[in-house]
Amino acid sequence: MSKTTTPLNHSTTIRLEDQIHVQEAAELRETLLSEVEAGRDQFVLDLSRTTFLDSAGLGVLVTLSKRLRSVNGTATIVGASKPIRELFDLTKISPNFKWK
Amino acid sequence: MKTSFDLNINNPQQIREIRKRYYPHLVQGFGMDQLLVEASISEAILNAWKHGHRQSTDKDIRVHISFMKTRMLVRINDQGDGFDWRRYHSPNDLKHWFPRLEHIDEPGRGIVLLLRVMDVLRYNEKGNECLLMKKYQNQE
């Protein structure tokens, strides 16, 4: 997972792993929530290299979106493949995010 | 041609390793839907570990996957006390029972994913074994 932060506009870009299983989901949760704690409220989640994500990972992203909603922040997903987008659509959590 | 895998795991971190065995068959059978099917299998294993074994790594979860001629069958058995699966089932058409996932808790989210992706989702009476079935893409 790589991370780029821009302190001036409270934004952060996180590039997710190839596969997000339980362990990676736990690490991702820690990273994302610590960024929220640090005052970031504009998240860009780069899923361009992510080929697997299960509900553990989806749950982390839903948690992030809920946290951001409470501070008027946004989470934007970029680079998601068609199957990954379908997973979000099927589980009806797509509207929680902006998509590019 | 039937290919079967019997896999025992006690920790969901092992999913990353065991998936290498069945992944090629998922791609072959389900094409672009492979991700959804794989996420569903992982989900069922995660449920067994979280709710069946209460996240303990002392007991094995038995995973049996059969790639048959027209469909895939997955049976996942844990050694827990089972759960009350009936509360997630609508008396009507399960495929159309689908609340917004953000409004339901994590166990519910997993079962909803399974219901949407699989053609069949069944639990045994006790609720500690589930059976998943999905026809291959070209069999629909």
Could you give the number of structural domains in chain B?
1
* B14-38 tens-digit pLDDT: 999 999 999 999 999 999 899 999 9
- Predicted pLDDT of residue A6: 63
* B41-55 tens-digit pLDDT: 999 998 899 889 999
Domain that holds residue A77: 2-99
- Predicted pLDDT of residue B93: 46
- Residue B69 pLDDT > 60, yes or no? yes
Q: Is A93 on the interface with B (CB under 8 A)?
A: yes
User: B-side interface with A, Cβ within 8 Å?
Assistant: 12-13, 15-16, 32-36, 38-39, 42-43, 46, 98, 100-102, 106, 109-110, 112-113, 116-117
- Predicted pLDDT of residue B83: 74
Domain that holds residue B83: 3-139
Cα A60–chain centre separation = 8
- Predicted pLDDT of residue B91: 43
- Residue B102 pLDDT > 50, yes or no? no
Q: Is A27 on the interface with B (CB under 8 A)?
A: no
CATH number at residue A71: 3.30.750.24
Could you give the number of structural domains in chain A?
1
Chain B partners within 8 Å of A22 (Cβ) = 12-13, 15, 46
- Predicted pLDDT of residue A48: 95
Average pLDDT over residues B56-61: 96
Percent of chain B with pLDDT over 70: 81
3 state SS of B123: strand
* A64-73 tens-digit pLDDT: 999 999 999 9
| CA-based nearest residue in chain B for residue A57 | B39
Q: For residue B11, what is the DSSP state? A: S
Chain A partners within 8 Å of B112 (Cβ) = 91
* A1-45 tens-digit pLDDT: 776 666 666 889 999 999 999 889 999 999 999 999 999 999 999
Distance from CA of A5 to the nearest CA of B (A): 27
In one-letter notation, the amino acid at residue B43 is E
Q: Where are the beta strands (DSSP E) in chain B?
A: 3-9, 61-67, 71-77, 120-123, 129-135
Q: Are A52 and A21 in contact (CB under 8 A)?
A: yes
- Predicted pLDDT of residue B92: 45
Give the best residue of B18, B40, B102, B111 to mutate against chain A (max A CB count within 10 A): B102
- Residue B138 pLDDT > 80, yes or no? no
CATH number at residue B29: 3.30.565.10
Chain B partners within 8 Å of A67 (Cβ) = none
- Predicted pLDDT of residue B51: 85
SS3 readout for chain A: CEEEEEHHHCEEEEECCCEECHHHHHHHHHHHHHHHHCCCCEEEEECCCCCEECHHHHHHHHHHHHHHHHCCCEEEEECCCHHHHHHHHHCCCHHHCEEC
Chain A partners within 8 Å of B33 (Cβ) = 83
Which residue is it, tokens 């290299």?
A: A49
- Residue B95 pLDDT > 90, yes or no? no
Distance from CA of A60 to the nearest CA of B (A): 11
- Predicted pLDDT of residue B106: 55
